[in-house]
């Protein structure tokens, strides 16, 4: 298959990226803003591509992945691009039989439930087994015409991976879950299997994230989307050491690291201990309260409820300004949602948020 290269070259501007500066808790002229799941099915440009290609086909073809990554940068004026990929891509070379069933999300034909299942997981070399991801990164860096990670011109590129707990939950459950019953049952009833799986995943995900950084991403985010299902004691015993391993591996490569989870108010101090230059806050805790809980020695990202993007403009403005007021202009705030953009979100409302954040002046 021959695919066209992305053609839009974004302009070079001689300024320090506000996103990268905020990650390092440096002062910025305007609060940087980007959105989780900013490239995706709410955008008509993306839906047009999905009419021809499946999600995995887009990921497998660097030109398509790069094009989809660039779509919201062009349309919205966000301050960072996040690579279009899926957190379960590393599961494919592991040999669990990942498929994306239409309307049902990920389905794993070979879930991991026993020690033999863990031992049967295949070795993963990110540069060869996931080389298409690295190719997309290199293509994007060329298209975005970035400089160095320390003094980038233009729009920085964020790479990412799933956190060990979230990836493990998919492998154990065989797909998405609300109760995580099989996952917790393994933790409590077969801890030796759990720890063996988490150790294996922490290595695979660390290698994957490091490969992305060396391919050219300028910041990374570790998505622990479902870790809010755990109590603090379970997080500390069963998750923290493995998340810490992944976050530390990325940090050692010298780029900013964002640590994200949802429904994690009770876990925030432990997440900070696990690592990350930036900690994600969802909408369940006011931003100033969450930041106070974490301390001023870490940056924060968040924390608008994605459902607010369906509200009238005046309500959106009120909610956006409230978050910015709570941030109080302190260095280290990156505006984002508390989770990803929802399907059918009006694109105009997403653009409204970008403009409101960029236009806001502390009163």
Does residue 37 have an active-site annotation? yes
Does residue 273 have an active-site annotation? no
Does residue 214 have an active-site annotation? no
Q: Which of 25, 37, 141, 200 is catalytic?
A: 37
Q: Greatest CA span in the chain, whole angstroms?
A: 60
Residue whose tokens read 């290609």 = 53
Note whether 43 and 67 are within 8 A (CB).
Answer: no
Q: Which of 50, 74, 145, 325 is catalytic?
A: 50
Does residue 319 have an active-site annotation? no
Does residue 170 have an active-site annotation? yes
Q: Which of 42, 46, 170, 235 is catalytic?
A: 170
Residues identified as active-site = 37, 41, 50, 86, 170
């Amino acid at each position: 298959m021959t695919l066209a290269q992305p053609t839009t070259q974004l302009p070079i501007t001689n300024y320090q990226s506000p996103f990268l500066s905020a990650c390092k808790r440096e002062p910025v002229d305007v609060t940087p803003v980007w959105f989780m799941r900013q490239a995706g099915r709410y955008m008509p440009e993306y839906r047009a591509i999905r009419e021809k290609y499946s999600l995995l086909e887009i990921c497998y073809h660097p030109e398509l992945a790069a094009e989809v990554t660039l779509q919201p940068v062009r349309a919205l004026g966000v301050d960072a691009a996040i690579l279009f990929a899926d957190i379960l891509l590393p599961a494919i070379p592991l040999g669990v039989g990942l498929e994306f069933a239409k309307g049902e999300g990920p389905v794993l034909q070979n879930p991991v439930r026993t020690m033999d299942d863990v031992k049967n997981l295949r070795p993963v070399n990110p540069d060869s087994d996931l080389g298409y991801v690295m190719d997309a990164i290199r293509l994007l860096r060329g298209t975005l015409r970035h400089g160095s990670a320390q003094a980038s011109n233009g729009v920085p590129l964020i790479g990412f991976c799933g956190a060990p707990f979230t990836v493990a939950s998919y492998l154990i459950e065989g797909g998405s879950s609300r109760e995580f019953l099989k996952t917790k049952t393994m933790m409590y009833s077969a801890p030796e299997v759990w720890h063996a799986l988490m150790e294996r995943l922490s290595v695979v995900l660390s290698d994957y994230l490091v490969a992305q950084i060396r391919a050219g991403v300028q910041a990374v985010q570790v998505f622990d989307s479902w870790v809010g299902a755990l109590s603090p004691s379970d997080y500390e015993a069963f998750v923290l050491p493995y998340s810490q391993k992944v976050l530390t591996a990325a940090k050692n490569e010298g780029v900013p690291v964002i640590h994200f989870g949802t429904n994690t108010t009770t876990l925030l101090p432990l997440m900070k201990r696990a690592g990350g230059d930036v900690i994600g806050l969802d909408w369940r805790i006011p931003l100033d309260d969450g930041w106070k809980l974490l301390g001023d020695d870490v940056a924060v990202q968040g924390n608008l409820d994605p459902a607010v993007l369906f509200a009238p403009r005046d309500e959106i403005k009120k909610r956006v300004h409230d978050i910015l007021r709570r941030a109080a202009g302190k260095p280290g705030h990156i505006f984002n949602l508390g989770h990803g953009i929802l399907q059918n979100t009006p694109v105009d409302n997403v653009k409204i948020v970008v403009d409101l954040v960029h236009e806001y002046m502390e009163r």
